[in-house]
Amino acid sequence: MPDAPPAEPEVAEFDLLRPKLIRVAYRMVGSVADAEDMVQEAFIRWMKANRDDVREPEAFLRRTVTRLCLDLFKSARRQRETYIGPWLPDPVLEEDDEDEITLPLMLALERLSPLERAAFLLHDVFGLKFEEVAVTIGRDTAACRQLAARARRQIRDARPRFRVDKAHGLAIAEAFFVASRSGDMNALAAMLAADVSAHADGGGKRPAALHPIIGFDAVMKAQESLVGHFRKNGSTLLRVALVNGLPGFISREADGELQTTAFEIAGGKIAAIYVMRNPDKLKHLH
């Protein structure tokens, strides 16, 4: 078969930037599908753009993606107001733990206004100067500094204070899977912090607690109620992995659906458990 013709220079240039753009969009909206849609729309605009007007392709595309995400926020927030049960961002598996945007921080970002979120992400996470942030979100430089400062104050407690060694974190995740599925409640109890919380996102599509479960006793009671289900129906560990920057695992449950579980660990104990069961948010993992 003849070789495929080389891509147009504009397409090749966009493809090199696509991973960065997906990362920006996902951090903004918390949805893999929406992030991909935003980047695809940016590609369409990129192909239509007058090349004489595009001095820096990466800056042009980052601005385009950010503005599209800001436009999306209004409808996305309305949808979350009617969401069934706790909302969690789509699980993304990562190869390393260098990214400081962990799942708890993504949840904290949800409390920010769209402009605060954009200013914080673009400056504090992606390293843009405030002058470029200002051009991107359509505000002056001083306003962008204020937006980022307000964001930092609101999410200060959600930023990771101590890095958990990756191997140690994944070992805890695997031990939790074994103990929870076998019903070893003593082993589970030894892993959990006194103020542990559990959050499950079923999106109304699969069974999941409709409210966060707070406290050691309540989480242990919930785990005890699941033991019989796991023993009767089974649960298969597919792999341990970093899930949104946290140690966790992917499993296939009795209904044949995937599930991700991620753990916030503090002081060697599990401080929070985040379970994604909504099949719509797991499609990209198949």
Q: For 102-121, how does the pLDDT look when each residue is reduced to its tens digit (9 = 90+)?
A: 899 899 998 899 999 999 99
For 115, residues 6+ apart whose C-beta sits below 8 A from its C-beta are 70, 137, 139, 147
Whether residue 229 lies inside any domain: the answer is yes
The amino acid sitting at 243 is V
Whether residue 225 lies inside any domain: the answer is yes
Q: Domain count for the chain, please give it.
A: 2
Q: What range defines the domain where residue 241 resides?
A: 166-285
Reported as a single tens digit per residue, the pLDDT across 227-284 is 888 888 889 999 999 999 999 999 999 888 999 999 999 989 999 999 999 999 999 9
In the prediction, which pLDDT does 231 show? Answer: 83
> Do 16 and 142 sit in the same domain of this protein?
yes
CATH classification of the domain holding 250: 3.10.450.50
Judge whether 216 and 223 are in contact, CB under 8 Å.
no
> d(Cα 42, Cα 14) in Å, to the nearest integer?
10
> Do 191 and 242 sit in the same domain of this protein?
yes
Question: With bands split at pLDDT 50, 70 and 90, how would you rate the model's confidence at 7?
Answer: low
Whether residue 94 lies inside any domain: the answer is yes
Question: With bands split at pLDDT 50, 70 and 90, how would you rate the model's confidence at 169?
Answer: very high
Q: Reply yes or no on whether the pLDDT at 77 is more than 60.
A: yes
> d(Cα 277, Cα 275) in Å, to the nearest integer?
6
In the prediction, which pLDDT does 147 show? Answer: 96
> What is the chain's mean pLDDT, rounded?
90
> Do 13 and 94 sit in the same domain of this protein?
yes
Whether residue 174 lies inside any domain: the answer is yes
Query: Of 99, 132, 158, at which residue does a domain stop?
Result: 158
> Do 182 and 71 sit in the same domain of this protein?
no
> Do 149 and 170 sit in the same domain of this protein?
no
Average pLDDT on 4-17 reads: 79
> Do 14 and 138 sit in the same domain of this protein?
yes
> d(Cα 64, Cα 39) in Å, to the nearest integer?
9
CATH classification of the domain holding 37: 1.20.140.160
Whether residue 131 lies inside any domain: the answer is yes
For 68, residues 6+ apart whose C-beta sits below 8 A from its C-beta are 25, 38, 41, 42
The CA–CA distances, whole Å, from 117 to 9, 24, 70, 86, 114 equal: 33, 11, 10, 20, 5
Whether residue 3 lies inside any domain: the answer is no
Reported as a single tens digit per residue, the pLDDT across 53-70 is 788 989 999 999 999 999
Q: At what angle do helices 216-233 and 166-182 cross, to 10 degrees?
A: 70
> Do 137 and 15 sit in the same domain of this protein?
yes
Whether residue 272 lies inside any domain: the answer is yes
> Do 133 and 43 sit in the same domain of this protein?
yes
Sheet strand arrangement including 258-266? 93-94, 235-243, 246-253, 258-266, 269-276, 192-201, 213-214
Average pLDDT on 82-101 reads: 82
> Do 142 and 173 sit in the same domain of this protein?
no
Query: Of 131, 158, 185, at which residue does a domain stop?
Result: 158
Average pLDDT on 206-224 reads: 95
Average pLDDT on 166-184 reads: 95
Whether residue 192 lies inside any domain: the answer is yes
DSSP the chain: -PPPPPPPHHHHHHHHHHHHHHHHHHHHHS-HHHHHHHHHHHHHHHHHS-GGG-S-HHHHHHHHHHHHHHHHHHHHHHHHHT-SS---PPP-EES-S-----HHHHHHHTTS-HHHHHHHIIIIIT---HHHHHHHHT--HHHHHHHHHHHHHHHGGGS-SSPPPHHHHHHHHHHHHHHHHHT-HHHHHHHEEEEEEEEEE-TTTS---SS-EESHHHHHHHHHHHHHHHHHH-EEEEEEEEETTEEEEEEEETTS-EEEEEEEEETTEEEEEEEE--GGGTGGG-
The CA–CA distances, whole Å, from 241 to 54, 68, 112, 223, 248 equal: 39, 31, 28, 22, 5
> Do 65 and 139 sit in the same domain of this protein?
yes
Query: Of 139, 158, 177, at which residue does a domain stop?
Result: 158
> Do 27 and 105 sit in the same domain of this protein?
yes
> Do 148 and 170 sit in the same domain of this protein?
no
In the prediction, which pLDDT does 134 show? Answer: 96
Q: Reply yes or no on whether the pLDDT at 158 is more than 80.
A: no
